[in-house]
Chain A
Amino acid sequence: MKLLTTVAGMFSTLLIVISSGAGILAHAADLTEQARLEMVRNIEQDVRETSLELNKSELDPRVMKALSRVPRHEFVPADEKQNAYENRPLPIGHGQTISQPYIVAVMTDMLNLEPDSRVLELGTGSGYQAAILGELAGKVYTIEIVEPLGMQAKERLQRLGYDNVTTKVGDGYYGWEEHAPFDAIIVTAAASHIPPPLIKQLKPGGRMVIPVGSRFMMQQLLVVDKREDNKIVSKQVMPVVFVPVTGKH
């Protein structure tokens, strides 16, 4: 009898410990999920309050859904995890940053991705943007020039199950010939000009988005459209609604 009660006692203790442990973990996961949803809500609020230059008062719902699914906290270093869902850029080491979520949302929205889109990204960084692209597009190809960063991002994306994202380490100036042409290209790596090979690898009707400015302070978004007739038109979009002249003119 004593044995039975002991075993029963141990068993129930174990049960309690396991369930509370699970409860704690679930709670933690809950918290990150909550933080993520809050982040998405903040972005939507920002867009609504200040409808962008592109004449929108909300971004593509698919983009917002992607932002609510990708676990951003997996893409930032341990000492920044508590800030993962703040609406601000974060340093990720190697002198690089992960962009402010609001900017990521705006840039991704501008790419006009479809479920069968082929996207090229130059400047994998943490891999967060690539993951977002992976949620939305058919195939994502991303290149990072700094080896340790690229390897880290590759491992991370694989671990999180982004099978449609292919990473490589190397020089992105010549794009990724073997997978060209691309419906969309996003260039977050710094360069003094737009590499002509990238323009060549853009499909007619395709779009390139390039953030211009420093790592923590983006100045403008350059949107390069290749028309069906191969004509190249660029648009300079400010990510902020700021009209430089007051009143009518």
Chain B
Amino acid sequence: MRKHQRPPYLSIALISGAALAYEVLLMRLFSIIQWHHFSYMIIGLALLGYGFSGAIISVFQGWLLQRFTLVFLGSLLLFGLTSVAGFMAAQAMPFNAELILWDYHQVIYLLIIFLLLSLPFFFAASAICLAFMQYRQQVSRIYGWDLAGAGLGSLVVIGLLFVAFPQNALITVGAAGLVSLLVASVELGVKQYRSVSLILLVSTMVLSLLAVNLELNMSPYKSLPQTLRVDGTEVVEQDSSPFGLISIIDSRIVPFRHAPGLSLASTAEPLPQLGIFTDGDNMTVITKAAEDKSQLVYLDQLTSALPYHLADPASVLIVGAGGGTDILQALYHSNNNKTSAAIDAVELNPQLIEIVGSRYSKFNGDLFQHPGVQVYAGDVRGFLTQNQKKYDLIQISLMDAFNASASGLYALNEDYLYTIEALKHYLNHIVPGGILSLTRWIKMPPRDTLKLFATAVEALRQMGVENPSEGLILIRSWQTSTLLVKNGAFSSENIKNIREFSDERSFDVDFAAGFPLAEESYNQMAKPWFQEGTAALLSDKQDQYLDQYKFNLHPAIDDRPYFHHYTKWSSLPEMFKLRDRGGMSLIEWGYVVLVMTLIVAAVLSVILIALPLLALPRSSDKAKAAISKTRVILYFLAIGIAFLFMEIAFMQKFILFLHHPLYSFAVTLAAFLVFAGIGSYLSANMAHYYSRRNLLLGSVAGILLFGVSYIFLLDSLFIWISDTPILLKILLTVVLVAPLALLMGMPFPLALSSLADHAEALVPWAWGINGCASVISASLATLLAIHFGFSTVIMLALALYAGIVFVFPVPPRAVTS
């Protein structure tokens, strides 16, 4: 039929880009209205829409292909409408993540939500799959445009998020669906102009109607909606970027009095503040300019104030400028000590810098413009790599890597702030005698404080320090703990000051070498776990302690950057049993969600892959030359898993080069997809000169070559060229990703076009298998990375690539392909 006409390449690229943009936006939107972990699960499962489309098309292929144009255009239209309508319906579900272990109805809501969100993916995937079947000779080229479109879509959506609120960007995605409908009707040479115009008109009206009514509905249990219930609170400003939705709140009747970790002995009250919420949670504050220095004394009553009592740092680096509280604390002490410290502050979110630094500078007394203060946009490790400064004090206070930004697409909990390599990096930028100060919230039972301590011990040991105990101090209030790591040993003078500081504020000293610990703590627990833990981690019984501790306290490394992963499988049964006896918070939700996503995806995939088999033609004599179905399953499963394994693992690896989580996500993902698309397209051209089998062998050989060399060489390469300007680094990233991605783009279309030639009924089935595999792959990759590291994920992917050579789906007899 239309087999010799040009496939609707442009509309396919458009719909594919729109689908990826939809995925990124969903992540952003759900992180705002719900919490990041459940967003990950919901969206991960919604992607099964791809697998679902393969199953449906397998069963109804004859019927659908007869009406190709109608169904193709219809899918594009439905994508456009369901992307917005589906989200609005999903948002209306009274889903409350935290209730899930108390109330099983929540699971039903979750299922409905993921079904609603999977519809757009279903429609986009159906359109592409039908195109494969209709234009059998052009499978590789179609796939090339599909991937390239997705790659460009990822860049466009990130750019869009800088200028529009996510809910408005969603409308744009819906509109892109309608535009692709228009483009497709032109590309397919549709003559019924009036019908198409009418449909476009009506759907545009529907979309506009939806757009007008689209408002974000945050879960009532997030801190922002809760805060807004108090009389006299109002949102004075809202701004959005790929880093998050920022909301500035003024509370006129009941002021904000944010002072985390304030000493129990304190009589000071914080100054008036404006609240800053990111994605409706994680409140921090902008503090009103003090009229008198004494009004800031509360900043001296936090555990994070300790380093200022041991020395007068002349140069300070603050990690995470936020609302400026840490800067204020540094200035307060530098004024007190009559030194004028040079304070550098790094902040990841440029919008926050603009808000705190200029829009509200009158409120906070021009804090960021203070002569001693310099604020930089970016992440801390990139900042330290670019400039060679050394500091007297590096202050990292109540900070966690922010993963719900747009770069959180495949991210769950990666945190490069607290790995062993990170601590070494910070320590290398501290002058001899200088201090690294790390403050964290206390969790009960102790988890991250002890893990951080273990990380510091290991970092010091790896730097050649013989007695790490001499350079470590741990103090604690009931709420926060502060760990000091010195470039050197703490003197007895230091210890005296620490003791005084802590006693005055009812803080406990849990570790200080050669310091007799107090008999009675100010902040008691059932057992002195912090004292016992720190002592054990420095002793030769360290391994035994790590074994016996019911949470995972092994330090994180850059290859396995999961500082916030504490769950040990051996402890799960006990924690689960205790869940309604006060033990709910023992369970690490990120991990549980990850495992649940994987299990559900696997189960649903089995159904989606097996079901079409009932409808597909059985092997018969006539079909002796047909391709073995077992091969098809194995091949496409392997490819689906391996491709995403490589993509995810390398995206993380390149974070160690580009540092900035958003840049590395955007650049690496786009580069992977675009070049894989180019590779796919090229494989079509090259198929004129080489057999498919040879092309496959060649591409796999290339993948293995690049893959293996990257595992061994990338890390050293990154270090060697670490201090080049960011633009050059981006270029280099593209150059490094290009050849690997190009080759990776070939195995899928080569096999699919083989199927299109010899067993076309299997094409949608294979597409569905691939879709299911991608979903499983994402969570499986993270799970493996948590336990074994990203290098292992890459090696497994390479093993899978090596293996596909043996199950390449070609007919058994030698046939000229």
Chain A residues proximal to chain B, CB less than 8 Å = 46, 50, 53, 87-89, 91, 94-95, 100, 102-103, 106, 145-147, 171, 173, 190-196, 199, 213-220, 222, 224, 232-247, 249
- CB-CB under 8 A from B98, the residues of chain A are 214-217
Closest 4 CB pairs of A and B: A239-B582, A240-B582, A95-B220, A193-B262
Cβ 8 A contact of B524, one of A91, A102, A214, A234 = A234
Which of B264-272, B316-324, B597-605, B746-754 lies at the interface with chain A?
B264-272
Determine how close the nearest CB of chain B comes to the CB of A51; give it in whole angstroms. 11
Report whether A46 and B581 are in contact in the complex, using a CB–CB cutoff of 8 Å.
Answer: yes
Question: A88-B102, A94-B220, A244-B445 are known contacts; what are 16 more A-B pairs with Cβ within 8 Å?
Answer: A46-B581, A95-B220, A95-B221, A171-B254, A173-B257, A193-B479, A194-B262, A217-B585, A232-B264, A240-B583, A241-B578, A241-B581, A244-B529, A245-B549, A246-B550, A249-B548
- CB-CB under 8 A from B254, the residues of chain A are 145, 171, 173
Is B525 in contact with chain A by the CB < 8 A criterion?
yes
- CA distance in complex: A233, B523 (Å): 6
- CA distance in complex: A194, B480 (Å): 13
- CA distance in complex: A94, B136 (Å): 57
Report whether B582 and A103 are in contact in the complex, using a CB–CB cutoff of 8 Å.
Answer: yes
Cβ 8 A contact of B260, one of A171, A173, A193, A249 = A193
Report whether B264 and A242 are in contact in the complex, using a CB–CB cutoff of 8 Å.
Answer: no
- CB-CB under 8 A from B257, the residues of chain A are 173, 191-193, 195
Determine how close the nearest CB of chain A comes to the CB of B64; give it in whole angstroms. 44
User: Per-position contact with A for B437-457: 1 when CB-CB < 8 Å, else 0?
Assistant: 000001111100000000000
Determine how close the nearest CB of chain B comes to the CB of A225; give it in whole angstroms. 10
Interface residues on B, range: 35 or more
**Contact A216 B99, CB 8 Å, known A192-B257, A192-B259:** yes
Report whether A171 and B103 are in contact in the complex, using a CB–CB cutoff of 8 Å.
Answer: no
DSSP majority for the A interface?
A: loop
Cβ 8 A contact of A236, one of B478, B549, B581, B582 = B478
Report whether A196 and B525 are in contact in the complex, using a CB–CB cutoff of 8 Å.
Answer: no
- CA distance in complex: A181, B575 (Å): 40
Is B350 in contact with chain A by the CB < 8 A criterion?
no
- CB-CB under 8 A from B532, the residues of chain A are 249
- CB-CB under 8 A from B258, the residues of chain A are 192
- CB-CB under 8 A from A215, the residues of chain B are 98, 221
Determine how close the nearest CB of chain A comes to the CB of B148; give it in whole angstroms. 44
User: Per-position contact with A for B406-447: 1 when CB-CB < 8 Å, else 0?
Assistant: 000000000000000000000000000000000000111110
- CB-CB under 8 A from B226, the residues of chain A are 95, 190
- CA distance in complex: A170, B21 (Å): 46
**Contact A88 B580, CB 8 Å, known A215-B98, A219-B444:** yes
Determine how close the nearest CB of chain B comes to the CB of A197; give it in whole angstroms. 9
**Contact A87 B580, CB 8 Å, known A220-B444, A232-B265, A242-B575:** yes
Report whether A224 and B260 are in contact in the complex, using a CB–CB cutoff of 8 Å.
Answer: no
Is B80 in contact with chain A by the CB < 8 A criterion?
no
Is B253 in contact with chain A by the CB < 8 A criterion?
yes
Which residue in chain B gives the minimum CB-CB distance to A225? B524
Is B765 in contact with chain A by the CB < 8 A criterion?
no
Report whether A102 and B478 are in contact in the complex, using a CB–CB cutoff of 8 Å.
Answer: no
Is B96 in contact with chain A by the CB < 8 A criterion?
yes
Report whether A245 and B580 are in contact in the complex, using a CB–CB cutoff of 8 Å.
Answer: no
